[in-house]
Chains A and B, each alone.
Chain A
Amino acid sequence: MKKTMGLSLLAFSSLFAEAELDAIKGQLKQQQVIMQNLQEKVLQLTNQNQAKEQNKFDVQMAQNSDSSSSFSQNAYLPDIALILNMSAVGRNVKNSEYANYAIPGFIDSGDAELPFNKNRGFNLNYAEVAMHSTVDPYFDAFAIFHLHPDALEIEEAFVRTRALPYGLKIKAGKFKSSFGRINSMHQHAWNFDAQPIVYEAFFGPDSISDPGIQLQWVAPTDTYLMAGIEALQGTNDRSFGDTEQSNLFVAYLKTSVDIGDDLSILGGISLAHGKNTIANATDVYGMDLTLREQLGSYSSLVWQSEYLYRNKDIGVSNDKQAGLYSEFIYHVDRNYSGGIRYDGIVQNNTDLSVGYTGVNTDNLDKYTLMLEYKPFPMSRIRLEYTHDRTKVINGQRKDINEVMMTLNIAAGAHGAHSY
């Protein structure tokens, strides 16, 4: 029994073995066919790829055979912006008379500089080209070329450090001093087109702007605290102007606190010490305060004020004069704003007997109303009414009424403004 079983098992297994061999042979053949197919496919694809690459190469050759841009530095071009400012003016004073206005104690008849909005009718105030570029890891460069209809002026041109430690930064070149609140701002960034009378009286239309060097330090504190000192040439002859050597030093301290998310307060004190002749010194002290309450993304209330006091040694005596401005702006939404400003001279201790005998020289002040429409952040149309009681025209105190419409645009790569 056992033997039969064993034999038959043997027969079975040999039969099975044969069948298995056949099956494997069959599979092998199949695999060979698959291999062959795959090889053909690979060959085909390789050829295709080569053709494609050749094609791509041909296209690249065709496109890039012009190698004239190999040393192109277009990517390093500075940011360039064009700022245009123009106006239409109505005024109850003839142009020839207005050009010779005097402000008693500050500007004598014929001495006024009037770079902006001088004429009744139309004015092109300026075309400004602003350029900014990072020079290297250590310096930024910045320049503003101010083109009046009949003059080209380098309004600012300076280098600024990027990588100083300890919260320090140095600026060198010609620049607007950071004295006070609006001294460092350009005309197109002011809330009103006319310069506050105290700035015009003390410094003229360019404010404190000179070749020199500036060092600023921001304290590593929770509360913003910034201190700065500047050494400047002091060419501004309204207050300084000693031509024998650099004579002007400016120092200031600024701080800011927030009350809640929406109210921010910025305050500062400033000092400018210079010489109006080689022997005589001038000191100007400034205080400024700005409150800004944010009502929404595009809506805010701003109250900004400055007070300036000047002690000018004129040899025989000291002129002690002071003035201030206070302005209130309501930004209704992203298109509309309105504002009012009071500015004036509040102290005028100087000899007014020459040229102003019989002329009332009290209460030199000015009231301005402003309405503004901004179709877009880059353009601004502004309507202003000014009642100006600061001027003497043809030897007579004259109240000047002025209506002015200004258009300002900033095209191209114009950087954001500071607070």
Chain B
Amino acid sequence: MKKLLLSVLLTTLAFASMEVDTTYSTLGAVAQKIGGDLVHVTVLGSPKYDPHFIVPKPSLLSKLRRADLLIINGGGLEIGFLPPLIINANNANIQPGAKGFLDMSHFIDLIDKPASVSRGFGDIHANGNPHYSTDPYTILVMAKVISKKLSLLDPKNAKNYRTNLSNFLQEWDAYLLHFDAKMAICKDKKVIEYHELFNYFLKRYGFTSYGDIEPLPGIAPSSKHTIELIHTIKDNGIKIILQDVYHEKRTAEFIASKTGAKVALIPHDVGAVKSADTLENFYNTIAEQICH
């Protein structure tokens, strides 16, 4: 018992900094840039899994239990696993509506908002497409919002958060300049996707998506829909199929074999593939996959 108490005490001392939990890795990477040494960032959902269906492991409860700030993607992406975790973590700081709960989607203009909402259309997101992290410009918004939030929660370090923010913004603006130039020479702008994971990136750089491999959001591919898609690809001369890391890859490969289109494995978050290990490399990997 003494040992337990001691280890509890030591853990609290060791993490005198702000405990910041994020549901996904891209949010976590930005939080780390802004928080620096003053925060300890924990990412709850592994980027190798479907962000809609993160397994609510009990170990996540102990992470949420000690969080000072929980940053969620929002837009309904976490609805399938996060609410019971927040309830059972018994942490008043991070309850929805509390100071330490931050829904990033409230600061982003969500696109693809459905005109009418029914599960008859599959697993649609009523508030619009929540996969905004694939647009590198949203990083600027995330950075500003997180800096503001950390300053409010930890006012004695507000100056540091502001300095980190302005350094990071400078860095990211320079990166975007290069990145936009890289994307400007990208000529082939017709794609199809598995799930509408990359719409924000596609919109930013003028791509057009001609369809999804899943017939409805959250519904597995059907042969009828796949055949229609093969016709669409042939009729429109589409050369790229955007595949994510967590869906089955057979359908995309089958379509590729019938049409000659290329299957491009695109990360949806930092760390989803090996080469996407940093914020910069996340977008670099998307660019390389989509442009070659």
Would you call B84 and A297 a contact (CB within 8 A)?
no
Does B49 sit at the interface, judged by CB under 8 A? yes
User: Are B59 and A224 in contact, CB atoms less than 8 angstroms apart?
Assistant: yes
| Contact indicator A225/B62 (Cβ below 8 Å) | yes
| Chain B hits for A256, CB < 8 A | 57-59, 61-62
Cβ of B87 within 8 Å of any chain A Cβ, yes or no, is: yes
Q: For chains A and B in complex, what number of residue pairs have CB atoms within 8 angstroms?
A: 113
Interface residue B88 (Cβ < 8 Å from any Cβ of A): yes
- Does any Cβ of A come within 8 Å of B251's Cβ? no
Which of B55, B65, B95 sits near A218, CB closer than 8 Å? Answer: B65
User: Contact flags (1/0) for A196-228 with B, using CB distance below 8 Å?
Assistant: 000000000000000000001111111111100
B140 within 8 A of A: no
Give a binary string over B242-286; 1 marks a CB under 8 Å from any A CB, 0 the rest: 000011100000000000000000000000000000000000000
In the complex, the answer to whether A224 meets B55 with C-beta atoms within 8 Å is no
A244 is an interface residue with CB less than 8 A from chain B: no
- Assuming the contacts A219-B8, A376-B219, asked whether A418 and B56 have C-beta atoms less than 8 A apart, the reply is yes
Instruction: A219 to B95: give the CA distance in the assembly, Å.
Output: 18
8 Å CB contact of A220 from B11, B119, B220, B246: B11
Complex interface: chain B residues within 8 A of A261 (CB): 46, 48
| CA–CA, A220 and B119, complex, Å | 39
B84 contacts which of A220, A225, A294, A415 (Cβ < 8 Å)? Answer: A415
Question: 1/0 per residue B68-99: CB within 8 Å of A?
Answer: 00000000000111111001111110011110
Chain B residues within 8 Å of A416, by CB: 56, 79-84
A140 proximal to B (CB < 8 A): yes
B209–chain A nearest beta-carbon distance, Å: 22
Which chain A positions have C-beta within 8 A of B8? 219-221
C-alpha spacing A296/B61, complex, angstroms: 21
B218 and A417 contacting across the interface, CB-CB below 8 Å = no
> Does chain B have a CB within 8 A of A278?
no
Could you tell me which residues of chain A, from 145 to 176, have a CB within 8 Å of some CB in chain B?
160, 162-165, 167-169
Per-residue CB contact flags for chain A residues 215-258 toward chain B (1 = under 8 Å, else 0) read 01111111111100000000000000000000000000010111
Closest to A418 in B: B84
Choice from B46, B58, B80, B91 contacting A419 with Cβ under 8 Å: B58
Which B residues are in CB contact (< 8 Å) with A165? Answer: 92
Collect the chain A residues with CB atoms within 8 Å of residue B173's CB.
none
Beta-carbon contact of A216 and B56 below 8 Å: no
Chain B interface SS verdict (over half) = loop
Q: Which size bracket describes the interface of A in this complex? A: 35 or more
Bound complex: CA of A144 vs CA of B163, how far in Å? 51
Measured between beta carbons, the chain A residues less than 8 angstroms from B219 are 376
Among A216, A335, A376, A377, point to the contact of B90 (Cβ < 8 A): A216
A137 an interface residue at 8 Å Cβ cutoff? yes
CB of A264 closer than 8 Å to a CB of B: yes
Assuming the A-B contacts A377-B123, A415-B83, are A163 and B92 also in contact, with contact meaning beta carbons closer than 8 angstroms in the complex?
yes
Chain A stretch 393-419: residues in CB contact (< 8 A) with chain B: 411, 415-419
Query: Does A310 have its Cβ within 8 Å of any Cβ on chain B?
Result: no
| A418 and B57 alpha carbons, distance in the complex (Å) | 9
Q: Which among B58, B65, B83, B92 has the highest number of chain A CB atoms within 10 Å?
A: B58
Asked if A224 meets B58 with Cβ closer than 8 Å, knowing A137-B97, A418-B84, the reply is yes
B66 within 8 A of A: yes
Judging by beta carbons under 8 Å apart, are A218 and B88 in contact? yes
B7 at interface, CB cutoff 8 A: yes
Q: A261-B46, A298-B50, A416-B81 are in contact. Are A378 and B246 (CB under 8 A)?
A: no
Residues 9 to 59 of chain B near chain A (Cβ within 8 Å)? 11-12, 46, 48-50, 53, 55-59
Interface residue ranges, B against A (CB under 8 Å): 7-8, 11-12, 46, 48-50, 53, 55-59, 61-62, 65-66, 79-84, 87-92, 95-98, 119, 122-123, 218-220, 246-248
In the assembled complex, 28 residue pairs joining A and B whose CB atoms fall closer than 8 Å, in A order, are A134-B97, A162-B92, A163-B95, A167-B65, A168-B90, A169-B90, A218-B65, A218-B91, A220-B12, A221-B8, A221-B11, A223-B62, A224-B59, A224-B61, A258-B57, A264-B57, A292-B57, A294-B49, A294-B55, A297-B49, A376-B122, A376-B218, A411-B119, A416-B82, A418-B84, A418-B88, A419-B55, A419-B57
